[in-house]
Amino acid sequence: MTPCAFTTELAEDPCFAVEATAGLRQRWPDVGVSRGFVLPRARLGGSLASGPVGVDVEVAAIRTGGEAGYLGVLGESIVPRVELWRAVGVYEPRDGLVLVGSAGLIPDRFVAAVDGGALVGGALPYTLDRALLDRSDLGGGVLLHTKSVDVALDATSGEGLARRERNDGLDVTAYVDVHPGEHLHVQGMAREGSRGMDRARDHRAALRVLVDFERVEAGVEGVSAWGVDADPLRTVLGASSYALVQQGPVAGALRADVTSYGSAGLRVSGFAAVGLGLPLAAEDPPARVWLGLEHGRDDAAAAPLAGADALARWTSAFLLVDVHLVHPEAP
Amino acid sequence: MRHACLPILLLPACADPNVDARSAWLHEAFYVQDAAWVSRPELVVKYDAMQADPYDFLRGTSGVWYADLARPHAGREPTSLVHDPREGAVLLFGDPHPENLSTCRAGAVDSRAQTVELVDLDGATYGPWPVDLRRAALGLALLAEPLACDCDAELVAGLVRGYQDGLEGRPIVYGRILDELLVDAAEDGTQREKLDRLAPIGADGRAFALSETLTVVTTEERARTERLLTSWAQARDLRVLEVARQHGVGVASIPAERFLVRFDRGDDGPDDDDLVQLREVLDPPAIPGLAPPVAVRFADNAARIRSARALWSRSDADVLADGIAADGVSYKTLAESSWFKSVDHVKLGVDWAEGELTTEDLVGLARAIGHVLATGHTRAPGADGAESGDAIRASFDAATAEDELVRMLASDRATLLDDAARFATLRERFGPQLGFDL
């Protein structure tokens, strides 16, 4: 992962990054909302460092009407949102041991670990996609980095930047990334948190295993949520697995997700995609064109409208261009 | 307020183990619904109105209601009325409660033709058609709640009967409540009662009667409304004469920016003057239907409002109605005239108390609403651009719809009244603006 914006690390040199995924989607059953220009991701970020201290900023485009809102992109309803805004300080007391302190709108480390570049066809990380974790939160944290283990502890408000008038709670998140070898990461997080002014519980625990070889990246993760959207009684269990294979300019991506809403049932979804890197000769292409198929289905009780089984299955084909530009390029 | 701060992970985190789950969720849902307005003092006025009257609580909570409908949990009432995916992307009114039903002067601005429409399209977007019926049934039940008529089943039967009539293309039967409203509207409209009240003729001609609820616009507001109204007025060959800021109108949209505009058609005298309301429009609640993400169908809320006019039985139901945008904010225009009279639940309560209203009259109103819904659902193009009528007709079964709506209504009404009590408690605990003060 490039040490610039969209990562949990501080870039050593000033840099900026642009990430965007846009394209066309055709959905079945075709009910008219199937064909359309989609902009699942558009982010602009930058890092500025001077010696051991620096700042990161990241701005993303969002649809104000939400993903179910039929509004956005061409009108005023797509707006910029600050996703990250933090000051970072690095202290290296001895070789192999690094302490990184950060404060501001800091990233969720479990999300950020798989939120950069075109890991899986430009798709959102599973925990973001199912709204089980947020990309960032307001607060501060400390990361202890060694050769084989990263450990972090973050204290945040749980309400992010947009809801700053309610930021009198405290979420405490522990994160660990064990990387015993070059190719293996075992990442875990646990959060004791609350949501809303009534401070309903909003706890999370998650575990991920990632393997990262030259041509293959793959991961499997599970997450458990106690309390969702300020409803302390709701519990959600989810799991996702994904893989990305690259050979020259050609890449292939697979992902399968399953989310359990307790007695309401399951949502199952997944996609397969092939990508072609541009330019064709690039080792790590800054752009990819993805062609893929996605399928999802809900149990009737877990469908957006309970009981409406006819609305609970969908398939879509997508053609996406995924651009990831970093300046200057990392060595 | 005391919170149990648990020593977890060496730091004290502060989830409250004794929190009332429904209240906590409700509080958050209110924030999500009203986030755009938390810095406006009028939000307290809206909340005051909602706390004072369960019907107004219903009016102020459509976003909360839809959010609750969408939450995947086992306790949700399942529908058995949707069998075709196209039924999930029907253009809906979104908030078809009885007070959104209004008489309209159809046709040209000097026309005497009348129609009845659900004029408020703020919540209009795509979704499954039974949701509009469910929300309408809840609105009717809340209207009837203080009357103690014990007539839920009759109201639902009337609503479903009217819907079936509309699907089958039978003419609408307005019933006594709407018939009387149409007569009043024609009488007051002819006499220009609202125009003369809001902008009376004085020594210097006609001008707004400024008051606490109708105030002078700022320089910035004047410039902005000029930008908004220029092309709107040109397209209709109208002259904008005067603009004033309007406050405290409606319930759900009380915090919305609202202007009253006086215009004419070119004569220098006051006889061709008229009024139009210009009001800010926000994103509608997301109606649970198709699994997201769904593709964009409206460039902005102004485009949405313009498209949603296709729901009206007459496209010329209000020739002044439009959606317009400037500076990234959408507004809608609606005629402000005595020809446009809405159902008033308070007045109906008085009529009931005086013995001038019967259950049969309420059922007639329900039947008319059902008909208006069916006409809109089948007339307006669905998200695929084609009529939704065939898909709805193929799935619609009156007996099933009636059973399902009666069952859902019992649950919806109990939840809403319970939520209204929780809302009052939340305001006691967190303050009149629920603690959302910036």
Residues paired with A145 in a beta bridge: A98, A150
CB under 8 Å to B324, separation ≥6 — which residues?
A: B228, B229, B231, B232, B302, B330, B331, B332, B333
Question: Given a cut of 70, is residue A10 above it in pLDDT?
Answer: no
- What mean pLDDT is reported for chain B? 92
pLDDT attached to residue B99: 98
Q: In the prediction, which pLDDT does B7 show?
A: 47
- Asked if A33 and B8 come within 8 Å (Cβ–Cβ), the reply is no
Q: Could you give the percent of chain A with pLDDT greater than 90?
A: 44
Determine the residue among A129, A159, A197, A234 to mutate to test chain B binding: the one whose Cβ has the most chain B Cβ atoms within 10 Å. A197
Say if CB B89 and CB A305 are below 8 A apart: no
**CB-nearest partner of A231 from B25, B76, B383:** B25
Q: Report the length, in residues, of chain B.
A: 438
Query: Does B87 reach chain A within 8 Å, measured CB to CB?
Result: yes
Residue contact B15–A35, C-beta within 8 A: no
Please give, rounded to a whole number of angstroms, the shortest distance from the CA of A277 to a CA of chain B: 26
Judge: A170–B14 Cβ closer than 8 Å, yes or no. Answer: yes
215-254 of B, contacting A, C-beta below 8 A? none
**Minimum CA–CA partner of A269 in chain B:** B291
> How far is residue B193 CA from its own chain's centroid?
24
Instruction: Read off the pLDDT of residues B48-72 as tens digits, 9 standing for 90 and up.
Output: 999 999 999 999 999 999 999 998 8
Instruction: Report how many Cβ contacts below 8 Å link chain A to chain B.
Output: 273
CA-based nearest residue in chain B for residue A226 = B15
**Quick count: other Cβ atoms within 10 Å of Cβ B287?**
28
Is A296's pLDDT higher than 90?
Answer: yes
Chain B residue numbers with beta carbons less than 8 Å from the beta carbon of A318 are none
Contacts of A165 in chain B (CB under 8 A): 38, 436-438
* DSSP-derived 3-state class of residue A51: coil
Nearest to B128 among A232, A302, A311 (CB): A311
- Mutation to test the B interface, candidates A198, A295, A298, A319, most B Cβ within 10 Å: A198
The closest of B102, B255, B288, B245 to B182, measured between CA atoms, is B102
Do residue B89 and residue A32 have CB atoms under 8 angstroms apart? Answer: yes
A-chain CB neighbours of B286 within 8 Å are: 65-66, 68-69
B427 touches chain A (CB under 8 A): no
Note the pLDDT tens digit of each residue in A217-258: 999 999 999 999 999 999 999 999 999 998 889 999 999 999
The share of chain B scoring above pLDDT 90, in percent, equals: 83
Give B383's contacts in chain A (Cβ within 8 Å). Answer: 31-33, 70
Helix, coil or strand: residue B361: helix
CA distances from B141 to B175, B312, B363, B412 (A): 18, 24, 11, 10
3-state helix, strand, coil in chain B (%, to 5): 45, 15, 35
Residues of A in contact with B73 (CB under 8 A): 234, 261-264
Contact B304 A192 (CB under 8 A): no
Residues 282..321 of B with a Cβ closer than 8 Å to A: which? 283-284, 286-304
Smallest CA–CA distance from A33 into chain B, residue: B295
Q: What is the mean pLDDT of residues B19-35?
A: 93
Residue B248: Cβ within 10 Å count: 13
Within a 10 A sphere around the Cβ of A51, how many other Cβ atoms?
8
Q: Which of B9, B24, B302 sits opposite A192 (nearest CB)?
A: B9
B80 or A41, greater pLDDT: B80
What is the C-alpha to C-alpha distance for residues B288 and B293, in angstroms, rounded to an integer? 12
Distance CA B389, CA A47 (A): 55
> Which is higher by pLDDT, A136 or B384?
A136
Tell me what pLDDT residue B349 has.
96
Q: What pLDDT band is residue A17 in, cutting at 50, 70 and 90? A: confident
- pLDDT tens column, B106-120: 988 778 899 999 999
What secondary structure letter does DSSP report for A10? Answer: P
* Chain B, nearest residue to A159 by Cα: B28
Whether A9 shows a pLDDT value over 80: the answer reads: no
Nearest CB partner across the interface for B295, out of A34, A65, A163: A34
CB A189 within 8 A of CB A141: no
* Per-residue pLDDT reduced to its tens digit, A48-89: 877 777 787 877 777 666 666 666 544 345 677 888 889 999
Is the Cβ–Cβ distance between A217 and A209 less than 8 Å?
no
| Structure tokens that stand for A72 in this block | 């956005």
Q: Is B76 on the interface with A (CB under 8 A)?
A: yes
- Across A16-38, average pLDDT: 73
pLDDT at A234: 92
pLDDT in tens, B218-254: 999 999 999 999 999 999 999 999 999 999 999 999 9
pLDDT single digits (tens) B304-359: 999 999 999 998 999 999 999 988 789 999 999 999 999 999 999 999 999 999 99
- Report the residue of chain B nearest A163, measured CA to CA: B35
Tokens of B176: 């006594």
Predicted confidence (pLDDT) at residue B184 exceeds the cutoff of 90: yes
Chain B, 335 to 354: residues with Cβ < 8 Å from chain A are: none
Best residue of A71, A231, A237, A263 to probe chain B, by most B CBs closer than 10 Å: A71
What string of DSSP letters covers B72-103? Answer: --TTSPPP----SGGGGGEEE-S---GGGEEE
Q: Do B88 and A197 touch (CB under 8 A)?
A: no
pLDDT digit string (tens) for B376-425? 999 999 888 888 999 999 999 999 999 999 999 999 999 999 999 999 99
Å from A51 to nearest chain B CA?
A: 31
B132: chain A residues, CB-CB within 8 Å: none
Neighbours of B363 (CB within 10 A): 23
Query: pTM (2 decimals)?
Result: 0.92
Which of B294, B400, B415 is best to mutate for the A interface (most A CBs within 10 A)?
B294
Each residue of B267-315: pLDDT tens digit?
A: 988 999 999 999 999 989 989 988 776 767 788 899 999 999 999 999 8
Among residues B162, B90, B161, the alpha carbon closest in space to that of B399 is found at B161
Question: Which residues in chain B are contacts of A194 at CB distance < 8 A?
Answer: 13-16
Q: How far is A50 from chain B (nearest CA, A)?
A: 31
Q: Is B191 exposed, middle or buried (0-12, 13-18, 19+ CB in 10 A)?
A: exposed
Closest C-alpha to A163, from B63, B68, B41, B436: B436
Q: Which of A62, A63, A77, A79 to mutate to test the interface with B (most CBs of B within 10 A)?
A: A77
- Rounded to a whole number of angstroms, the distance from the CA of B330 to the nearest CA of chain A is 8
- Whether B73 sits inside 8 A of A71 (CB atoms) is no
**Yes or no, beta carbons of B11 and A76 under 8 Å apart:** no
- C-alpha to C-alpha distance for B323 and B334, rounded to whole angstroms: 9
Computed on alpha carbons and rounded to an integer, the radius of gyration of chain A in Å comes to 20
**Mutate which of B1, B5, B14 to test chain A, going by most A C-beta atoms within 10 A?**
B14
Determine contact: B31 vs chain A, CB below 8 A. yes
CB < 8 Å to B280, chain A: none
**Contact across the interface for B14 and A153, Cβ inside 8 Å:** no
pLDDT at A6: 59
Does residue B349 contact residue B147 with C-beta atoms inside 8 Å? yes
Binary contact (B296, A171; C-beta < 8 A): no
Q: What are the tens digits of pLDDT across the range B247-256?
A: 999 999 999 9
Q: Do B20 and A198 touch (CB under 8 A)?
A: yes
Chain B nearest CA to A46, separation (Å): 27
pLDDT tens per residue, range A34-56: 556 677 777 788 888 777 777 87
- Distance between CA B414 and CA B138 in Å, rounded? 10
Which residue in B10, B78, B289 is closest to A307 by CB distance?
A: B78
Alpha helices in B175-333 (DSSP H): 175-190, 193-198, 219-236, 301-308
